[in-house]
């Protein structure tokens, strides 16, 4: 079985994670590297995080002692606070 045949079979099948790992473990180094490059090509490049208007904290120039972020899961609470904290700790750019 060639590496190309392996990749076609992998892409067309529904493997469990265990089955996939067992298959990859049986590949030689060159085939494993080629498979990694093939998988990287399927993944879209990461996009930079851009805050939504409701995720932008108050300006540091305003007399705020703190602020509260109340939102549901997946709305960017952690990223909002981390960015604010980073700006606060590093000072003005």
Lowest-confidence pick of 2-16, 38-52, 75-89: 2-16
C-alpha distances in Å from residue 29, one per residue of 34, 35, 36, 38, 60:
9, 10, 11, 14, 53
Query: For the CA atoms of the chain, what is the radius of gyration?
Result: 23
Which among 92, 61, 89 has a CA at the least distance from the CA of 81?
Answer: 89
**Would you kindly state where each structural domain of the chain is located, as residue ranges?**
3-42, 53-90
User: Would you say 81 and 69 are in contact if contact means Cβ atoms under 8 Å apart?
Assistant: yes
- pTM value? 0.32
pLDDT tens-digit readout, 27-81: 888 888 887 777 777 777 778 888 888 777 777 676 766 777 888 888 888 888 8
């Amino acid at each position: 079985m060639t590496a190309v045949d392996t990749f076609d079979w992998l892409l067309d099948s529904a493997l469990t994670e265990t089955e996939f790992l067992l298959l990859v473990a049986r590949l030689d180094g060159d085939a494993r590297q080629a498979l990694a490059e093939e998988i990287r090509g399927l993944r879209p490049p990461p996009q930079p995080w851009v805050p939504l208007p409701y995720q932008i904290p108050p300006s540091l120039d305003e007399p705020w002692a703190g602020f509260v972020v109340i939102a549901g899961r997946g709305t960017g609470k952690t990223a909002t606070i981390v960015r604010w904290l980073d700006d606060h700790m590093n000072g003005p750019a």
